[in-house]
A and B are shown apart, each in its own frame.
Chain A
């Protein structure tokens, strides 16, 4: 890229500037007249609730979408970005929330596949060349490793190495910390700071306020597709940012009502589970879930959480061990049998539209998914289901045109509420929720936390698979930490710190750390 020189004879300070960017999808305005600028050597946080248009805006910089109107300036020069290729040539690199890597290729091949280099054949040299870039920025990637063997944080480092290899000077990261442990997040921030100090302009999308305050120099806040404010990070605080983001005051504290812990509901006894590839993902796991408590399950993504939930819900075979519900072994029972046995257990799966709801059916029909077979009549009872649907829409404040709208037309938060509403309406004794607030904005998240607390107060036992440790520390009564499918500890949430949890997630209990240090 040739650098344009302004009148004063110096390189312009602003690396990238957006003016009046508007993007519509059909009748929905995703971005409305947005202005934004990032200086060289600066980290800008882009903050906003779900659906506020953060990712859409960044996708226009990376060439995935094209703006309907507005202009983009890079180094003071107006540019048009029509494709990811254009973005690459302009020195823009985006790390997407869902990594864009080819699983069956090595790390080095994922990088060189997009590099415009001479030579017909692939040589060993590509490993050395790609290693150099990692060294320069302190990235830890084994270039000869296949991506399918990599951990999430390795994949992320590879994504960063890739865009740096292409010469990116403007780096966009979309929710980079969502899948990282606190330690990995810390390491990522160190890398980002070192890149900033080398003159890169960095935009980081997140909705974790503490991270915004920690890493960024400035914050631009989007609300409903518009940029409402840009503030210097050092002059602001979490409460102000939330207010700007939501548009009104919100209390950030999560309640943890004190409830007397009752009888044992679920006892998981030395459980071992294999995943569909025949690999043991849960190894010898034992724990209890009692009435009136929320048990959190923390762990790096893919530590066996999904299989554990599915096994308890009767959807996944057990290899060894047992699951006791009120002292009755429920192994090898089908979900239908579990329901017929009178075991009221609700499962809110990770994949809401895949496993929890039927996307093309309306809210009423989705209410019937679990109980349609009850009753003597060969016809389904839509009337009762309709009443349930109306009740849930009202009590949970679900935004929908009507109860006859297909669920897939609703926004993520509302889909989640429909599912949660159905499960809670059956007044379960055991409620299993996997990432219930994933992808939800602050408001919806707090609604969900309140619902879970209500269940707890009603005497249900809640198994809460979560990813945000700050939330888990406030909401849960106890937290079980999984590491590579093993329990590395079950701790009281009031007696543990986030750092300790992070260490346990990577299988280092405190005593072991001391051992290593000594």
Chain B
């Protein structure tokens, strides 16, 4: 029983940065921008978040710095694709290379100082039990004894879900992502909507990067803290079917896959009949999230539904005078 609870606890913990990355990318895509730069934005957020936390010792400053740097990356993306009409795929990929490179450059300088987060900040990040709720058996341990950034990730995802689905502003965002010409004809500011949401989404991705640097490094700086999780977030958007609520479940599943490959021996030790699992090469488990994503794509394209699919103008630039 303990093995399972620990496993799920770790799944939530490792799913949270994916949840942030995915939520950010969903907001961006819903407004019609396909930003493939999540990996780079998370790398930038990781550095900015860690550096601000290291210098100020304040968690709020760390989150703010990561958000602002992520939003700045979103601004670059929006400027290139909305104002200059650059190809979105190319811009996103370039942003990944740029972001990862810049973060590595400064990370290399930083690592020479052998940085360590302050003890107070480390203690704050190690975990916060929510009064009463954490006393609930099983659930209390899995969901309500996590670190403070996990709670933040869940709150952001829920707010993003409400924003997109139930608010007037969210309706405008969806309209712009589906059919910018129709939105424009109704008097919605298409360019502004895309700018704001690319920045908002980028900022949230940035916090996802900060999570990886602050939590997974246990106080030390790691140049490779992001290492592919940005890409998994992009895949997770498809799994979540462009809904932040879907991302809550999706990030848990993907987090579980991630933990599974590390803890497969623990699990086999507890459940000897699963012994065959440890014989499968680890690479198989790291591949699983992408196989599942491919399956979701296949299933959703067979269903031919109108909801839960990519916004129809996602990835396509809008130019009013096009005929």
Contact = CB atoms under 8 A, between A and B. Distances in A.
A65 B178 CA distance: 22
Interface string B128-169: 000000000000000000000000000000000000001111
Given A65-B321, A84-B185, A113 B306 contact: no
Given A84-B186, A113-B171, A122 B166 contact: yes
Given A64-B320, A113-B186, A277-B304, A105 B174 contact: yes
B12 interface: no
Nearest to B170: A122
Given A104-B306, A117-B168, A84 B178 contact: no
Contacts, number: 83
A88 interface: yes
A365 interface: no
A120 B186 contact: no
A103 B185 contact: no
Interface string A91-122: 00010100111111100011011100101111
Interface string A71-103: 000000000000111001100001010011111
A120 B168 contact: yes
B172 A113 contact: yes
B181 interface: yes
A101 B185 CA distance: 9
Contacts of A65: 321
Given A94-B185, A100-B182, A114-B183, A105 B175 contact: yes
Interface in A346-374: none
A296 to B, nearest CB: 31
Contacts of B307: 104
A122 B166 CA distance: 6
Interface string A139-155: 00000001010000000
Nearest to B182: A100
A114 B188 contact: yes
B187 interface: yes
9 contacts: A62-B185, A64-B321, A94-B185, A100-B184, A103-B179, A104-B306, A104-B312, A113-B186, A121-B167
A88 B178 contact: no
B171 A109 contact: yes
A110 to B, nearest CB: 8
Nearest to B304: A277
| Chain A CB within 10 Å, residue with most, of B179, B186, B189, B306 | B186
B134 to A, nearest CB: 32
A429 interface: no
A112 B179 contact: no
A113 B167 contact: no
Contact of B186 (A64, A88, A103, A148): A88
B157 to A, nearest CB: 18
Interface string B167-205: 111011011001101111111110000000000000000
B306 A148 contact: yes
B273 to A, nearest CB: 43
A449 interface: no
A166 interface: yes
B178 A103 contact: yes
Contact of B178 (A99, A104, A112): A104
Interface string B233-267: 00000000000000000000000000000000000
B29 to A, nearest CB: 14
Given A100-B182, A122-B167, 19 more contacts: A64-B320, A84-B185, A85-B187, A99-B182, A100-B181, A100-B186, A102-B174, A102-B182, A103-B178, A104-B307, A109-B171, A112-B168, A112-B171, A113-B172, A114-B183, A114-B186, A117-B168, A121-B167, A146-B306
A84 B184 contact: yes
A277 B184 CA distance: 30
Contacts of A113: 171-172, 175, 183, 186, 188
Given A109-B171, A121-B166, A102 B306 contact: no
A94 to B, nearest CB: 7
Interface residues of B, number: 25
B167 A96 contact: no
A104 B182 CA distance: 12
B187 A88 contact: yes
A507 interface: no
Interface of B: 166-169, 171-172, 174-175, 178-179, 181-189, 304, 306-307, 312, 320-321
A223 interface: no
A422 interface: no
Contacts of B188: 85, 113-114
| Chain B CB within 10 Å, residue with most, of A64, A104, A146 | A104
A110 B174 CA distance: 11
A162 interface: yes
Contacts of B321: 64-65
A50 to B, nearest CB: 14
A122 B171 contact: yes
Contacts of B169: 120
A120 B178 contact: no
B178 A105 contact: yes
A387 to B, nearest CB: 34
Given A102-B175, A102-B179, A105-B175, A162 B186 contact: yes
| Chain A CB within 10 Å, residue with most, of B185, B307, B312 | B185
Contacts of B184: 83-84, 100
A61 to B, nearest CB: 12
Closest 10 CB pairs of A and B: A114-B186, A100-B182, A85-B187, A100-B185, A88-B187, A113-B175, A114-B187, A102-B178, A102-B179, A113-B171
A109 B166 CA distance: 11
Contacts of B320: 64
A518 to B, nearest CB: 42
A85 B167 contact: no
Contacts of A277: 304
Contact of A101 (B168, B171, B179, B187): B179
Contacts of B171: 105, 109, 112-113, 122
| Chain B CB within 10 Å, residue with most, of A85, A113, A117 | A113
A84 B187 contact: yes
Nearest to B189: A85
B316 to A, nearest CB: 14
A26 to B, nearest CB: 12
A365 to B, nearest CB: 25
Contacts of A120: 167-169
Contacts of A64: 320-321
Nearest to A146: B306
A103 B187 contact: no
Nearest to B184: A84
B168 A121 contact: yes
A166 to B, nearest CB: 7
Contacts of A104: 174, 178, 306-307, 312
A83 B321 CA distance: 11
Contacts of A110: 175, 182, 186
Interface in A232-281: 277-278
A102 B306 CA distance: 12
B304 A166 contact: no
Contacts of A112: 168, 171
